[in-house]
Amino acid sequence: MKRFMAVLSVLLAAVIVCGLSACGNQDKIKDIDKPKTAATSDQYEYVPAENAVEESLNVNGMRFNMSLKDFTAAYNAEKYLRKETDMLDSTLWVADKKTEWDDHHIEVQYWHYNGNNMTLTASVEVNTGKLVNIGCGTTTSNFMGMTGDKSNSDIILSQAALAAQVACGLPSESHAVLQDIFYRTATESNDTLWYDGFVFCLSTKEDKNDSKNNIMLFRVFPVKDELKEEWSLTEYK
C-alpha cells in the first residue's frame, strides 16, 4: 500500500504541474452508479462564504483566500461536524521538491497528502502561501473498486466534494451538489464544469502499459468571470 501511494503521488504531481488551469480529456467511465446523495443545484440556497476567494496575478486571475494550514483546519472542522474521525494531520502534507511557474510567471508549489486509497493534492502560490487549487486523486482501477460493500467511486467523489466545499467556503448543504458535479465530469462529455465562479474538472494521465493504472485527479479552482467565456466553460445546471 505504501508503495502504491508513493507511486500515485508522483504521478499526480505529473498531472497537476502540466497545466495548473488545464483539465484533460479522457474516455468516460460508464460503469459507476450515480451517488445516492447526489442533488441538483436548486435543492439549497447558495450562500458563498465571505472572502472565500480573492484576485490574483496567476493564470486563473483568482485564488482561494486560505493557506494550506487554513484549509487543513477548516477541513477538520467540517469533519467534526459530520461526526467523522479521519482528520488530516497538517504535518503530513508533503511538498514537491521542484516548483513550477505558470504562464503569468507566478511560482507555484505542488503538495500532496496520502490518504486511504487516494491522495489529496494542492497547488500553492509560493509568494503568498495561498491555494490555487485543491484536488483528490486515485487510479482508475481503485476508483472502480470496492471497499467492503461500498463503491470506491462514491467514497472518492465524496472526498473530492468535501475538499471542494471547504476550499470554496460553501455550506455543508452543498456537498451533494459538488459530488454530483464531479460525478458528471467523470461520466459525461464535459470533463470541466463551471459553477458559481469555480471550475470543477477531471484531469487524467494515461498509463500506456496498463489502463487500470490511469491517474484520475478531481480538482477545483476559482477563476475570474471573464474566463468563463474565454475558455468556453460549460455551466453546471
218: closest CA among 188, 194, 173, 183?
Answer: 183
pTM reported for the whole predicted model: 0.86
Run of H or E including 192: strand 192-195
Enumerate the H helices of 82-189 as residue ranges.
Answer: 140-143, 152-168, 175-187
Average pLDDT, the chain: 86
Question: Phi/psi zone of residue 232: left (φ > 0), alpha (ψ -120 to 50 degrees), beta?
Answer: left
Residues 97-153: tens digit of each pLDDT = 999 999 999 999 999 999 877 899 999 999 999 999 999 999 999 999 998 888 999
Run of H or E including 119: strand 119-125
pLDDT of residue 116: 76
Range scoring the smallest mean pLDDT among 38-42, 112-116, 168-172, 181-185? 38-42
Q: How far is CA 97 from CA 10, 14, 50, 110, 111, in A?
A: 11, 13, 34, 9, 9
Radius of gyration from C-alpha coordinates of the chain: 16
Under 8 Å CB-to-CB from 207, ≥6 apart: which residues?
Answer: 213, 214, 215
Report the percentage of the chain scoring pLDDT > 70.
80
Domain range annotation of the chain: 2-235
